[in-house]
Each structure stands twice: as structure tokens, then as C-alpha cells.
Amino acid sequence: MTRVRIPPTLRAEVGGAREVEGSGRTLRELLDDLAARFPGLGRQVLDGDGVAPYVNVYVGSEDVRTLQGLETPVEGTTVILLPAMAGGEQTVTPSILEAVGSTPLVELPRLAPNGRVRLFAKLEGHNPTGSTKDRVAKAMVEAAEASGELEPGRELLEPTSGNTGISLAMVAKLKGYPLTCVVPENATPERVRLLELYGARVVPSPASEGSNGAVRLALRLAAADPRLFMLNQYGNVANPRAHYEGTGAEIAQALDRVDVLVAGLGTGGTLMGAGERLRESFPDVVVAAAEPLQGDLVYGLRSLADGYVPPILDVARLDRKILVTNEESAAGTRALLEREAIFAGVSSGAVLHVARRLADELQEGVVVAILADGGWKYLSSGVYDLPEGELAPAMEDRLWW
Amino acid sequence: MVIPAEVRSALVEHAEAERPNEACGLIALRDGVAERYLPGRNASASPYRFELEVDPEAWFLEDEGFELAVFHSHLSSPPRPSRTDIENIGLWEGRPYVILNARTGDLAAFQITGGQVTEKSLG
């Protein structure tokens, strides 16, 4: 048996005892034994497959984080459970990279169908460069650094219509990697200009070939120069992981209930990552994709009927997949601005369109729409100003998302 | 809560010594009056974060009749719990929590419960 000292903050969980005894060869076995006998203590001390973040464990007189963690042998020792205290000043952010994530989750009462269905929007445009891709870019670069694949001296290359490129440009600048972006030439000028301002080299690809053309050209460039490193957001597991650990976790922490999650279908990263995280907290949540109509020249949102399925996307994990026209997207974007004073991008209008449609199907519940970016990069497009009759022709042959 | 001048001086001295990083430790109180300060080590060694490391035995001073307050310094922001402080309150929910603004010397005491911050009177 191993003696376990209980701090005053945890004694209520063990009937007020200052110490208890437990069995097990390793700390893991010991804590499992205690959790079985004192479930309340188990909930406070164990978190998934590890020690809970608010608890420190000492074996002998040493913190187990500097020993073997949960595999630390404990027989014949004294184990001490202690509060783990952390915090810190928040008004100063050490780097713009630390400002990625923790975006607002805003209720949209004026767009909800009735008082029993609550509609929320996750405003990803509040990330530093104005889109959810900041999460993905930071996660992909840091994962490549951690694995040793990305080292000083290498250069980054990414096919992108803008948002991912702009986010990568921010990350690359601060971490010291040159960045080349292959951009379809019908991307909005604001995006191309932003890429250049952040210091990326822009290589245009033919508009008529859409995003697939940009990917093909990037692959050719990478094959010709071994210094170039492609992060490939479509096949990089750090992409959905950023949404699992960030976007999804933030929503799960903020709400007691989520019945429907809606996000745009691009790389699939948001839907896979945030969807998976929300399923853990709300097993019956409906994960719904807003998908552009087949043939639309879109990049951020992608019609699977066009033939390309990103490797990170498992379509079987989508509960609903709803097509949205350009006009419906534009109408959704305008509704966000006119009804809720939220200035969002065009794909956000598509997501809102789907979110409202699914909200209409509910008698009661909570619908969360992830709005991928803000409206600034689309000011030149006419989406916010053109009369409705002129919108459809103006939106043809343009990359919107 | 009362923190007499000598304990206040110890808090300020520790905050100064730890600059440019945040300082942290435990204050031992008896009947609401601080008797001594037990300086900890900031394992994060950061101007923006603290992670308290202190002699494990210090956490058991309550068995000797003391009450404990967790202390840390903010380098520039007001002595109010930050969002990071609130999110990380963990097992210390509802217990005394003291923050010093190292720039101005302002000291304040709080309780954090259910994400809500309540300021406590401090003499």
C-alpha cells in the first residue's frame, strides 16, 4: 500500500481524511485505485489519460513531471497531491501569434427563428489576420518544427486563394521563413495585396484552373526546388487538430448544449476538428457542412462533386451537407451585417444560410455557426453594395472564398 | 484580510527581485492576518505567466491553523485577476487570492468562484 497525503482543498472528496492509502505499482495504478474508491477525488485528479491540469503530484519529494509521469513507481513511497496554481497578466500579449484563437462566440437573436432556438456565431474574423486560418497556419508550422521537418533555411510554399496564405505569411515572418504562395489570379485583389504586404512572394496560377490549378503549379515548383516545404493544409492533420483543440474546445467550454454545428466545407479541417471535439461533449450534435454548388469557382468552400476530396476530410463524419448558391451566400452575408451588425466574409453568409435553415427544423435547441473570416477582404467585390439583380452576374467567374 | 507592513514589504521585494518576470508564492494567515510570506518559484519564468512552485509542505500549513492565500504579481496591469487567472483557478476556487501591481505597489485580495471575481477588503 502507498500512503497518499491529501491537501485541505481535496479532503472533502475523501471524507475529510488528511491521508489515505492506495494500491498499485505505478502512479497510474494508484490513482485508478483511488478514483474507484473516491470518485470525486478521481474527477478532480484525473483528466482523460493524464493528471488533471489543476493538480500537482509529488512522489517522495519530487514532482512526477520530472520523473516518469503516470508511470512513476510508487510502491513504498509517499505520494502528495497538491493544488497546481497558474495564471498571469493578460493585458500584454508577448507576440501576435499568442493572439490567435479565443474568438468571440456571439448570440444572433435577430436571426434566430424563434425564442426557443438560440443561434450563435463564432467570429473567426477576430483572429489576427482576420480569418480562422491563423489557427491552422500556426498549428501546421509549429507541428512541422516540432517534428524536425521544418528547419531554418527552408522556405515555405502553399497554394492558397488568400486566407491561409495571409495567415502563413504572418507566422512565417515572425518565425523567419520565406514564403511563396501560388494564388489563382481571380482571387480578390485585397487578398493578393495583403499577402504582398505581409512579405509573401505571390505566384499567380490560371483563373480557369481554379484551386486545383494552384495546387498543381505548387507541386511542380516544390518538385523543382528541395528547399521548398509545402505544409499542404488539405492533407495536414495539424489542420483539424487546431480546430479540435481550439475552435471546438472553445465552443464546448462556452455552451452547455450544442445541437447543430455549421461550418463551411473547405479543407474539411474545421468540420472534422471542431465537429469531433463537440461530439465528445454533445454526442448527438449534428455536424453540418455548407457546400458551394458544383462548378462554382470557389476555393475556401469546396464542392465535393467537383471531384477532389481533401485527405483530412472524412465525409462519413458529416451528418448534413447542404449546397448553397452564390446568391444565398451573399444574402446571408448582408443579413449578418444588416440584422446583427456583423461584418463577415462571403463564406460566412453561406454558413449562416445553412445555420438558419437547420435552426428552422428545430423545435428548440442551440445552433452554432462558425464564421470563417471578416468582410474586409471582399470590399471591392460588390457583395455589400450591388443591387440583388446585379449580384449573380458579378459573382460569376470570381473566387469568393 | 489584513496584510501588515512587513509582509507587504516581503511581497514587494520578491516582485522586484523577480523582475522582469512575475513573482508568486503563498501568504500564511492566522485569523485573517498575514503572518508570513513563503516565496515560491515561477516555473514559467515569464513576464506574462506564473506557475507556482513552492515547498510541498507549505500547502499543509492549514493543518497548523493557518489559512493560505495564493499570491502573484502583475508587472503592469492593475491588481485584478486576469482571464488567465480566472481560467486557472482550479482547486483554489473560493479561496484567498492576492495580486500585487509591481509597478504601482497596489495590492488587492479576491475570491474567484464559478468564474466570478469578488474583491475582498484588505487592510
Q: Which of A9, A18, A88 sits opposite B91 (nearest CB)?
A: A9
Nearest CA in chain A to B101: A89
Other C-beta atoms lying within 10 Å of the C-beta of residue A375: 22
- Distance, in Å, from the CA atom of A389 to the CA atom of A394, rounded to the nearest integer, reads 10
* pLDDT tier, A387 (very low <50, low <70, confident <90, very high otherwise): confident
* pLDDT tier, A295 (very low <50, low <70, confident <90, very high otherwise): low
**Are the Cβ atoms of B76 and A89 closer than 8 angstroms?**
yes
**Cβ-based contacts of B56 with chain A (< 8 Å):** 58, 61, 80, 82
What residues contact A307, with CB distance under 8 A and at least 6 apart?
A: none
Nearest CA in chain B to A44: B91
**Cβ-based contacts of A61 with chain B (< 8 Å):** 56
- Pairing relation of β-strands B24-30 and B67-74? antiparallel
Report the Cα B117 to chain-centroid distance in Å. Answer: 15
Query: B23 at the A interface (CB within 8 A)?
Result: no
- Distance, in Å, from the CA atom of A310 to the CA atom of A387, rounded to the nearest integer, reads 36
Output the nine-digit C-alpha cell for A23: 494500491
* pLDDT tier, A89 (very low <50, low <70, confident <90, very high otherwise): confident
Percent helix, strand and coil across chain B, each to the nearest 5: 25, 35, 35
**Are the Cβ atoms of A88 and B46 closer than 8 angstroms?**
yes
Question: What is the nearest CA distance from A95 to chain B, expressed in angstroms?
Answer: 11
Q: Which of A8, A82, A87 sits opposite B82 (nearest CB)?
A: A87
Query: B88 at the A interface (CB within 8 A)?
Result: yes
Which among B50, B99, B104 is positioned nearest to B79, based on CA atoms?
B99
CA angle A282, A288, A292 (to 5 degrees): 165
**Cβ-based contacts of B85 with chain A (< 8 Å):** 87-88, 90
- Pairing relation of β-strands A2-5 and A179-184? unpaired
Q: Which of A54, A82, A91 sits opposite B56 (nearest CB)?
A: A82
**Are the Cβ atoms of B90 and A55 closer than 8 angstroms?**
yes
At residue A300, the pLDDT reads 44
Query: B113 at the A interface (CB within 8 A)?
Result: no
Which among A149, A201, A401 is positioned nearest to A297, based on CA atoms?
A401
Question: What is the nearest CA distance from A42 to chain B, expressed in angstroms?
Answer: 13
- Pairing relation of β-strands A179-184 and A201-205? parallel
Q: Which of A18, A54, A92 sits opposite B91 (nearest CB)?
A: A54
**Are the Cβ atoms of B72 and A91 closer than 8 angstroms?**
no
Q: Encode pLDDT of A339-373 as tens digits.
A: 999 999 989 999 999 999 999 999 999 999 999 99
Strand order in the sheet with A78-83: A19-22, A2-5, A78-83, A55-59, A62-63
Output the nine-digit C-alpha cell for B67: 489559512
pLDDT of A215 strictly over 80:
yes
Q: Is A347 a catalytic residue?
A: yes
Query: A16 at the B interface (CB within 8 A)?
Result: no
Q: Is A133 a catalytic residue?
A: yes
E strand or H helix that includes residue B83 = helix B83-87
- Distance, in Å, from the CA atom of B12 to the CA atom of A113, rounded to the nearest integer, reads 56
State the first-to-last Cα distance of chain B, in angstroms, to the nearest integer: 6
DSSP for residue B40 = -
**Are the Cβ atoms of B56 and A94 closer than 8 angstroms?**
no
Report how many Cβ contacts below 8 Å link chain A to chain B. Answer: 98
**Are the Cβ atoms of B51 and A85 closer than 8 angstroms?**
yes
Q: Encode pLDDT of A26-65 as tens digits.
A: 999 999 999 999 999 999 999 877 889 899 999 988 999 9
**Are the Cβ atoms of B90 and A83 closer than 8 angstroms?**
yes
Mutation target among A41, A43, A56, A85 for the B interface, most CBs of B within 10 A: A85
- Pairing relation of β-strands A260-264 and A286-292? parallel
Yes or no: say if A346 and A296 are a contact pair by the CB < 8 Å rule: no
**Are the Cβ atoms of B84 and A89 closer than 8 angstroms?**
yes
**Cβ-based contacts of A53 with chain B (< 8 Å):** 88, 90
**Are the Cβ atoms of B75 and A89 closer than 8 angstroms?**
yes
Three-state SS sequence of chain A: CEEEECCHHHHHHHCCCCEEEECCCEHHHHHHHHHHHCHHHHHHHEECCEECCCEEEEECCEEHHHCCHHHCECCCCEEEEEECCEECCCCCCCCHHHHCCCCCEEECCCCCCCCCEEEEEEEHHHCCCCECHHHHHHHHHHHHHHHCCCCCCCEEEEECCCHHHHHHHHHHHHHCCCEEEEEECCCCHHHHHHHHHCCCEEEEECHHHHHHHHHHHHHHHHHHCCCEEECCCCCCCHHHHHHHHHHHHHHHHHCCCCCEEEEECCCCHHHHHHHHHHHHHCCCCEEEEEEECCCCCCCCCCCHHHCCCCCCCCHHHCCEEEEECHHHHHHHHHHHHHHHCCCECHHHHHHHHHHHHHHHCCCCEEEEEEECEECHHHHHHCCCCCCHHHHHHHHCCCCCC
Q: Encode pLDDT of B15-40 as tens digits.
A: 999 998 999 999 999 999 999 999 99
Question: What is the nearest CA distance from B116 to chain A, expressed in angstroms?
Answer: 15
* pLDDT tier, B82 (very low <50, low <70, confident <90, very high otherwise): confident
At residue A304, the pLDDT reads 56
CA angle A320, A323, A327 (to 5 degrees): 145
Q: Encode pLDDT of A92-136 as tens digits.
A: 777 899 899 999 999 999 999 988 999 999 999 999 999 999 999
Buried b vs exposed e over A228-246: b needs ≥16 C-beta within 10 Å?
A: bbbbbbbebbbbbbbbbbb
Average pLDDT, chain A: 90
- Distance, in Å, from the CA atom of A37 to the CA atom of A54, rounded to the nearest integer, reads 21
Placement of cell 492566522 in the chain: B30
pTM: 0.68
- Distance, in Å, from the CA atom of A334 to the CA atom of A328, rounded to the nearest integer, reads 10
- Distance, in Å, from the CA atom of B14 to the CA atom of B26, rounded to the nearest integer, reads 12
Which among A130, A128, A137 is positioned nearest to A98, based on CA atoms?
A128
pLDDT of A305 strictly over 60:
no
Q: For chain B, how long is the longest CA-to-CA vector?
A: 35
Mean pLDDT of A245-268: 93
Query: A7 at the B interface (CB within 8 A)?
Result: yes
pLDDT of A8 strictly over 70:
yes
> Is the link from the previous residue into A109 a cis peptide, with omega within 30 of 0?
no
Mean pLDDT of A304-330: 85
What is the phi/psi pair of residue A47, to 5°? Answer: -140, 105
